[in-house]
Structure 1
């Protein structure tokens, strides 16, 4: 089983176990190539590209100038602990035991606009580069054009025969995977809040629930889709009527 999620805009390189194993991202050369173009961009360009304030644009311009492929220990963190958005609040990696972290190292991958595909132990520096932004560089119209084939091929290399992929990534990020050329069935997820008996999607809760599913899989050593269907954290229960073989729907 492979589990995919999106990264997060919020990041830290300060709060992680100091004895945590670290590795070099598989696509570090590609990340360095992308950064060679990002470093040339002005704060104004970054503000317009990412639709962020001048203050955030200045901050990310500085990050781009400082970015290096081989950072010092105090400049980076393992990807599992570096991202701190809502998905990662649900995952709460700092409270996982060693067996759960080992499970994630084997089964969990994070899609990234800069790094392509990350293992939990891969060292990342602070950055901001969303996959869906219209960033043109070299001969590429956008990041999808650069990453889709590379990410798909790497996933296929890592997949064992008969494995499934749990897609807990956003639509923006999963578009970087060529689903038609994947050597695995993909299972999507939806999370609903029941309001007056009617299912309703609330984005922040959906993001948190994605992290909870990842945590559940790690804590229960989930190996099959049937294992995943038993997910019941924070009051979520599988809705058999709404679910299909290719999409699991959880309500609470």
Structure 2
């Protein structure tokens, strides 16, 4: 199985990393370089308008585009799973994973990215801001979905063949947002897709609450990593932070997890 995650807007390039942490290079550097070349033509006001950013954030990201290089080093980048710092990654809490855990994640987790296409957890990543839904025009089309086309799905197919060759039908567990999962060409993807839904009790019923759902996606990824999950059925044992599988509300391709109240 392969677990898909969205990236995060918040980044952490300041917290020290352990010595000797393994790293790899992103697999779509040529495509990222092409996108950076387009982004470098944008002024701070244009970036602010394109991405709905404040002037301060626009200026920060214009500087990032100018500093970006096709060579990834310890001084200009860090492993993606340890660089992202949003709600999903707080739930995943990668800094407390063992080296063996990170090695398993490297083979079974894929982070979708507007700039990098797909990142493995240990791929070095330079800081950036480029959400997948951005309408950035390139030679490939009017937005990033057209830019990436079927490349992301084909990459996932390759990874699934490498690790699920003897496991029957390949399975993708979608823990990414719809904005990012739309970048996966479903016609090109040769895998069964299972979605995980996280609901909390609010008022008079169970509802998806964005903040809690994002964190739960990270918790599910962590559960998969630490338990070395190999089948969708094993996901049903997920019980972190008070969540429990809700079989009556679930379907084979849509697993629902619920909790009455957030953990203190």
- Normalising by the smaller structure, the TM-score range is over 0.9
Question: Given the alignment of the two structures, is residue 101 of structure 1 paired with residue 74 of structure 2, yes or no?
Answer: no
Following the alignment from structure 1 to structure 2, what is the Cα–Cα distance between the partners of residues 148 and 13?
30
Residue 220 of structure 2 is matched in structure 1 by: 213
Match of 1:193 in 2: 200
Shift in Å, 1:24: 0.9
Q: Tell me if the contact between 1:110 and 1:118 (Cα under 8 Å) persists in the aligned partners.
A: yes
Judge which range, 187-196 or 57-66, deviates more: 187-196
Partner in structure 2 of residue 114 of structure 1: 115
Residue 246 of structure 2 is aligned to residue 246 of structure 1? no
Q: Tell me, what secondary structure is at the counterpart of 2:56?
A: helix
Moved over 4 A (4+): none
Cα deviation 1:212-246 (Å, max 9, x = unaligned): 00000011111111211110000000100111000
More divergent stretch after superposition (221-230 vs 166-175): 221-230
How far apart in 1 are the matches of 2:127 and 2:61? 9
How far off is 1:195 after superposition?
A: 2.6
Separation of aligned partners in 2, 1:197 and 1:181: 41
User: RMSD across aligned C-alpha pairs, in angstroms?
Assistant: 1.1
In the alignment, the residues of structure 2 paired with residue 197 and residue 234 of structure 1 have an alpha-carbon distance, to the nearest angstrom, of 21
Q: Any unmatched runs of 5+ in structure 2?
A: 260-264
Give the superposition deviation at 1:196: 4.5
Three-state SS of the structure 2 residue aligned to 1:188 is: strand
Aligned mates of 1:4, 1:236 — CA distance in 2: 20
| SS of the residue 1:181 aligns to | coil
Report the TM-score when normalising by structure 2: 0.93
> Does the 8 Å CA contact 1:13/1:74 hold for their aligned counterparts?
no
1:12 and 1:242 map into 2 onto residues whose CA distance is 37
Q: Deviations over 1:73-130 (max 9, x none)?
A: 1211011101000000000000011221111011000000000011111110010000
